[in-house]
Amino acid sequence: MKHIIIIALFFITGNLFAQTPCDYSTNVSDSLGNYKSTKEYLISEKVFGGNSSYIFYSLALTDGLPTLNVQLIQKSKAFLKANCFDKNSKLFLQLNNGKIITMIHIDQENCGTMIRDDKGFDNRVTTGIFMFMKGTLEDLKSSPLSMMRIKYLTESEDYIIRKEFKSELNEQVYEPDTYFINNLRCVE
């Protein structure tokens, strides 16, 4: 009986700590260097009154330097305000353990691209690349996220990071609070 319990505990423990394989959208090594990027992952979704906004993360590793790619997509038939990234933009991540991680935007201004779809919606796609500060990767691997603040060129916006949600966009279930815990190993 002891052996059965030990074997059962072994399988349960193994399943709890099993990691899913890294899923890359790009993985290139050539004479210019090495670059790999994880697939985009939905972190935040707001759908209200004909307006919707989505925030996607992906992690990239460029010649040994890990970065976080943030993509904001806004969709509306009304006016879409531009939130621009510039060299002073920052991303603040509050962890469940109370620590706040600051990430700095690269020195590149981006106010997004407007695209009108066939249903008459205006879509603004804005991307930003943020660098990890020294010593922050270990903190991000050890505690779930609780909140995110994005400092744009002219204002800041706060986002509550949910433990789990089912997306209206694609009906998939996302767990954004553990994004870094589950994916940072893919760019180390």
Tell me: the pLDDT tens digits for 146-160? 999 999 999 999 999
Go through 88-109 and write b for each residue having 16 or more CB atoms within 10 A of its CB, e for each that does not: ebebebbbeeeeebebebeeee
Residue 63 has pLDDT above 60, yes or no: yes
Least confident of 9-23, 86-100, 162-176: 9-23
Closest CA to 176 of 157, 155, 160, 188: 160
Confidence of residue 18 (pLDDT cuts 50, 70, 90): low
Closest CA to 22 of 130, 176, 182: 182
Residue 73 in contact with residue 87, Cβ under 8 Å?
no
Alpha-carbon distance of 146 to 96, in angstroms, equals 6
- pLDDT score for 10: 45
Q: Which residues pair with 157 in a beta bridge?
A: 150
Residue 13 has pLDDT above 80, yes or no: no
Alpha-carbon distance of 123 to 77, in angstroms, equals 9
In the block, tokens 């997306």 appear at 167
CA-to-CA separations, 120 to 50, 81, 116, 187, in angstroms, rounded: 12, 17, 6, 39
User: Residue 187 phi/psi, 5° resolution?
Assistant: -125, 25
* Helix/strand/coil for 182: helix
What's the whole-number average pLDDT of the chain?
89
* Helix/strand/coil for 174: strand
Alpha-carbon distance of 69 to 113, in angstroms, equals 16
**pLDDT tens, 80-103?**
888 999 999 999 999 999 999 999
- pLDDT score for 174: 97
